Chain A
Amino acid sequence: MSESSYEIEVEVRNPEGLHMRPAMQFVDLANTFDAEISVSNQDTTVDAKSIMQMTMLAATCGTRLTIRAEGVDARKAIDSLQELLDQIVSDVSSQSGVGQKDDG
């Protein structure tokens, strides 16, 4: 692994999974980095900067994802994306948990 390549494993913990608003936030954030960022769910690996590919990943609640970034700002990208995922979970639980699910 080169110096500018980072990888983390995360679990999707918000009840509605990575879709709609969370997916948009994730893709938008990924697009702010120069690094190439990929997300893997088991055998499927997709581009974190594509909303289509991220939706096809079917990252429902409980899914374990591997996020990999390569490029000059790879480290920062990984840290920010992890922070966002934590943020999404805490937003959901501080609002109303699954009560907000009606927005699907």
Chain B
Amino acid sequence: MEIRKGIAVSPGIAIAKAMVIDSRDYRIPRRSIMASQRASEIQRVRKAFARAIQELDDIKSAKRIEESKISDIFAVHMRFLRDKSFRKRITDLIYKEMVTAEYAVSTILREIASHFAGIDDPYISERAADIYDIEKRLLKHLLGRVEDNIEHLRDEAVILAHDLTPTQTAGFNKSFVKGFATERGGRTSHTAIVARSLGIPAVVALGDLSSEIPPECQVIVDGNRGVVIIDPDEETLRQYARYAERVTQFVSELNVLRELPAQTRDGVRVELMGNIEFPDEAEQVLEKGGDGIGLYRTEFLYLYGGSEPTEDDHYHAYAETIRTMKDKPVVIRTMDLGADKMPHSSWHPNETNPALGLRSIRYCLQDLPMFKTQLRAILRASVLGDLRVMFPLITNLQELRQAKMILRDVMEDLDEYAVPYNADISIGIMIETPSSALTGGLLAQEADFFSIGTNDLIQYTLAVDRANEHVSTLFSPAEPAVLRLIRGVIQDAHKARIGLSVCGEVASDPEFIMLLLGMGIRTLSLAVPMIPEVKQIIRSVSIEECGQLARRAAALDSSRQIKNVLRDAALKILPENF
């Protein structure tokens, strides 16, 4: 059994046999032709183009692809195939170098693809996948062999690949393809977009998948949690089969559940908020019955724009989100990237330890023009609804004061121009370092709310990088040290009567919900697809039993014991969930 973590790009659970597709590793050998054969090779290229265009037309009409994003992909391919200068590059190569049609097609398309891939803009570099797709389609016609076995699937399967081309994903027979997992790709790649619009669960960016995937082995794709399990053991398979059943059931129960409050059996109301990255995800938060957005990650504005986002770029994204959410709260977290990840920055400090380096709020406090641009947009959008601002990675009171001072500066600027904003905007901080957790009492004097970011808090507390396979098993939210810090933060927040939520991954882990409630958490912010399941758990427990569980956990001295206790409790409450 091998468990891999990637990026969840399309929700749902798929369990099926693995089908490994390798779409990049075929090499067309260079074969020379005689001068007299050039005309016929060029004719072969023309025919292949004509057939490829015909094929795209057929796919388009047969699949009735109305979804605009998919049809855009096909439209781009169509234009490439009709582009005379594109075809001319291929025929010129045949003419000048006297090579076969397939060699010329493969060489030129790979040249173009690597050119695209090398451009420092994700929108253009991701076009490389389109070019490989076109190459594959042309070669299929030139070589006369049917490479695309996905289209001829006759059994249910989960597709594992390095990267999938857009038309491959659209050409899937949905009744056989249950999900897919790719080594590469990102949230904005075609694969992700197509998967979402077709409703196929998908996880991307898994890194090198094991090259020795046993033949006929089972694979689980968990598009809710971003996990892929290769060759799962029987116990895992059984759990997931139940979980998948629950998820399917939830879809039908959703309408009922959406209207019901996240309230425990003994009547304690819990707020369930969504974590989002893109404005269009706000709609999903409402669909899943969320109470608001507890964590709006704004990094995508910096990563995908091609240039540093303008104030209007920020404003439009925030305004769209808050308009969708109406009166429900939206917590915007300010830029949380490391200097090493900032694409438009001239600062690329050579950091030996980026996790402890110039990142997040530290970066913002050193690049004030950039920080103020974002804050101005947040303040301008603050009049549209219940908008709140949250600073990440605060480690001490000094940093919080500095950030607040800059926010006040921006307010004064807006006053000068008579731009309206909410002067009482709620200002919170992420508690994600041991130093902020230990000084919660001080920070609570000057913050309106805390949000506990468990992923970083665990990393910094346990000194474990969970992406490092040699130590990742040491990464556990159930470590007594982590739980003690969280308990302290909860007490400090309650004492100061400020808002408090948990927005890390534990907030969507079914085994931890009872513990968090028992420790006093009443607001959770989590991955949107998990909202119904967590709501169901909350509705099946009482605060009294959660409190007992928390007290038991506090008395235990190891992560393993605590996990077992949490698991037993969860099994008792929701046996069908595990």
Report the bound CA distance from A20 to B68 in whole Å.
12
Contact, CB under 8 Å: A60 / B80: no
| Closest Cβ neighbor of A53 among chain B residues | B85
Which B residues have a C-beta under 8 Å from some C-beta of A?
Answer: 68-69, 72, 75-76, 79-80, 83-86, 89, 112, 115-116, 119, 121-124, 126-127, 187-189, 193, 278-280, 300-301, 304-307, 309, 312-313, 315-317, 319-321
Contact, CB under 8 Å: B279 / A55: no
Partner of B280, one of A15, A28, A51, A99: A99
A71, CB-defined interface residue at 8 Å: no
| Closest Cβ–Cβ distance, residue A60 to chain B (whole Å) | 4
Contact, CB under 8 Å: B307 / A62: yes
Report the bound CA distance from A39 to B359 in whole Å.
39
A27-60 residues with Cβ-Cβ distance < 8 A to B are 27-28, 47, 49-53, 55-56, 58, 60
**Prevailing SS type, chain B contact patch:** helix
Contact, CB under 8 Å: A16 / B306: yes
Contact, CB under 8 Å: A99 / B83: no
A60-104 residues with Cβ-Cβ distance < 8 A to B are 60-62, 93, 96-104
| Closest Cβ–Cβ distance, residue B531 to chain A (whole Å) | 20
| Closest Cβ neighbor of A103 among chain B residues | B69
| Closest Cβ–Cβ distance, residue B551 to chain A (whole Å) | 45
Partner of B306, one of A27, A61, A100: A61
Contact, CB under 8 Å: A101 / B72: no
| Cβ-closest 8 pairs across A and B | A97-B316, A60-B306, A99-B279, A50-B85, A52-B86, A51-B79, A104-B188, A96-B320
Interface residues on A, range: 20 to 34
Contact, CB under 8 Å: A20 / B123: yes
Complex A-B: 14 CB contacts under 8 Å: A15-B306, A17-B306, A28-B79, A52-B85, A60-B121, A60-B123, A60-B306, A61-B306, A97-B312, A97-B320, A99-B278, A99-B320, A101-B278, A104-B193
| Closest Cβ–Cβ distance, residue A46 to chain B (whole Å) | 9
Q: Which residues of B contact A55 (CB under 8 A)?
A: 116, 124, 127
Report the bound CA distance from A39 to B306 in whole Å.
19
Q: Which residues of A contact B319 (CB under 8 A)?
A: 97
Contact, CB under 8 Å: A102 / B278: yes
Known: A16-B305, A60-B123, A99-B320. 12 other contacts (CB 8 A): A15-B306, A17-B123, A19-B127, A24-B76, A28-B79, A52-B112, A55-B116, A60-B124, A96-B279, A96-B316, A100-B280, A104-B193
Partner of A104, one of B115, B123, B315: B123
Q: Which residues of B contact A53 (CB under 8 A)?
A: 85
Q: Which residues of A contact B86 (CB under 8 A)?
A: 50-52
Report the bound CA distance from A62 to B123 in whole Å.
14
Known: A52-B86, A53-B85, A58-B124. A20 touches B188 (CB 8 A): no
| Closest Cβ–Cβ distance, residue B72 to chain A (whole Å) | 6
Q: Which residues of B contact A56 (CB under 8 A)?
A: 112, 115-116
Contact, CB under 8 Å: A58 / B305: no
Contact, CB under 8 Å: B124 / A98: no
Report the bound CA distance from A99 to B319 in whole Å.
10
Report the bound CA distance from A37 to B189 in whole Å.
31
